[in-house]
Amino acid sequence: MSQTLESSEKNKQLLEEDEVVILPDVDNSELITRYNLSLVGRIFNKERRNVEALIALLPRHSIWDVEGRARGVDLGNHRFQFDFDSEADLLKVLGKRPCHFNKWSFALERWAPHVGDSFPNTITFWVCATGIPTHYWMDPIFRTLEKRLGLVGKIDAKAAKFQVEINGDQPLKFSLRAQIPSGEIVPVSFEYVNLFRWCHNCHLISHEAENCQKKENRYCWLKKQVESRVVSSARKT
């Protein structure tokens, strides 16, 4: 009987802990106005990055050049926020994207009243395309590639370059096959400018190949296959 009562009390406690707290509807317009001069960043590589070190280093003259005019705070879950004194400094920092810390890319966007830890998750890169015949180097051709890569922004058709907004939570696309207007299929490859570190195995920017879970799974599978063949051969002999 005592065990039943004890179990009942534990269940009651768990239910109480899971209860949703209803937050009041408050006037937060002043906060929202203040955050109009804020940027929110998110680190994708979670193993080796120190958010506190990043917050301390980024404002320096050699990086963002906003020291004393921007203040950073750790938001938790590998996210951070910088509050600026002026729109000019904020825009100057945005103009330095894509951003890196120890050569790891991270997302940086203007603050928005967003709920959840996935914001921000976009990074804008200049991408160089190779494989499209020069007589098709035109804006509409490169604009079409956003169907596979991400939202295309500025285009420098004469250099076969364009800006693309990628989702940092998804694998990068380094190649595809394209059908040109003549009907021929051509292989097209992409080089991301100022992309320094990523996984050459699964193409995510959150880790390198040596720490790739996909690679580990593949290795375990191959190991089991080899062991299975060894056992099978031993039985035959």
Look at residue 221 in the predicted model and tell me its pLDDT.
47
Q: State the Cα–Cα distance between residues 85 and 161, nearest whole angstrom.
A: 34
116 Rama sector, left if φ>0, alpha if ψ -120 to 50, beta otherwise: left
User: Average pLDDT for consecutive 10-residue bins of the chain (237 residues)?
Assistant: 58 67 91 93 83 94 96 94 98 95 94 86 96 97 94 97 96 96 95 95 92 68 62 63
CA distances from 60 to 13, 67, 87, 99, 114 (A): 49, 5, 18, 14, 28
Q: Model-level pTM greater than 0.95?
A: no
CA distance 14 to 67: 47
C-beta separation of 131 from 188 below 8 A: yes
Report which secondary-structure segment, H or E, holds 226.
helix 213-236
Nearest to 60 by CA among 72, 50, 47, 48: 72
Angle, CA of 89, 92 and 95, to the nearest 5°: 155
Per-residue tokens: 149: 């890569």
Q: How far apart are CA 73 and CA 180, in angstroms?
A: 49
